[in-house]
Amino acid sequence: MRPLIIATLALTATTGAALATADGPDFFDVRNVRSDDVLFLRERPTANSPKVGQVPHNGKMLRNEGCSAVRDGKILPDSDMNTGPFWCRVRYGPVEGWANARYLAEASEEQPTRSQARRPSYPASVAAAINTNTATCSSFKGMPGFTRNDLDLNADGVNDWVVDYGHLECDGSTSMFCGSGGCTLQILISNGRNAWEAKFEDTVREYSFKPVGGKMLLRLEQHGIACGKPGIQSCPKDIDFAKGR
């Protein structure tokens, strides 16, 4: 399979700054990356942009969300004169970001039918927070219960993110982020600027959300050592992310 000839795809685009998925392959494989290296996904289409994820040198089935000619990190309008460089927005596992098209080729494997549900994508700040933990995984896959975004925990009118790493498969293992003290739990709270920040990240045995006095509290149980007790004992806590509102 030859590497994707992006310039040809650019000539087929008819509307919008980004190349529509329908005009190119639905999925890419990674190409031209050394076996001891990875392909980084970035927040914006430039090599200087923050990393939001990474793909192994032999990564496969990156979903194509659109390719564009780029100059100085800015997407150029569609034009027959645009010859690149080209970047593509792709989704790999739970992370979505921009990749340099020189490292992409049309997927060689049989592609999933369009009737299959797409994997979730996350805002850049959420993807970056997840990547702080998954960067050590050559491959990872979120299972049902890995994330939820249906609770406003700090009462600012914007739903927050709950990331439960007990429901993440890392390099084929579901216990990478779990141990005798429980599994890693990450709570990302809206900062009011269309971004979310990690306000809680620790190992927990159990957790739930409890409405109390018009607020939604995080109720959790940790290893006894979190409260200065023997590990066999439990350490219950209630966390109010809306405190002061």
pLDDT (mean) for 38-54: 88
List the beta strands (DSSP E) in the chain. 27-30, 38-42, 51-56, 62-71, 74-75, 86-92, 95-100, 104-106, 140-142, 147-151, 160-164, 168-170, 178-179, 182-190, 196-204, 206-212, 215-223, 234-239
pLDDT confidence of residue 43: 86
pLDDT band at 1 (very low <50, low <70, confident <90, very high): very low
pLDDT band at 114 (very low <50, low <70, confident <90, very high): very low
User: What secondary structure letter does DSSP report for 173?
Assistant: B
User: What secondary structure letter does DSSP report for 117?
Assistant: P
pLDDT (mean) for 68-96: 75
Domains by residue range for the chain, with CATH:
6-106 (2.30.30.40), 124-239 (no CATH)
CA 202 – CA 200 distance, rounded (Å):
7
pLDDT confidence of residue 52: 85
Write out pLDDT tens, residues 163-181.
999 999 888 888 889 987 8
pLDDT confidence of residue 206: 92
pLDDT band at 93 (very low <50, low <70, confident <90, very high): confident
Is a pLDDT exceeding 90 seen at residue 73? no
pLDDT band at 141 (very low <50, low <70, confident <90, very high): confident
Is a pLDDT exceeding 90 seen at residue 80? no
Beta strands 27-30 and 86-92: pairing type?
Answer: unpaired
Q: Which distant-in-sequence residues (6+ apart) come within 8 Å of 28 by Cβ?
A: 4, 61, 62, 64, 88, 90, 99, 104, 105, 106, 107
pLDDT band at 2 (very low <50, low <70, confident <90, very high): very low
pLDDT confidence of residue 29: 93
pTM of this prediction? 0.54
Q: Give the least confident one: 19-33, 48-62, 133-147, 218-232.
A: 19-33
pLDDT band at 231 (very low <50, low <70, confident <90, very high): low
Write out pLDDT tens, residues 150-160.
999 999 999 99
Is a pLDDT exceeding 80 seen at residue 72? no
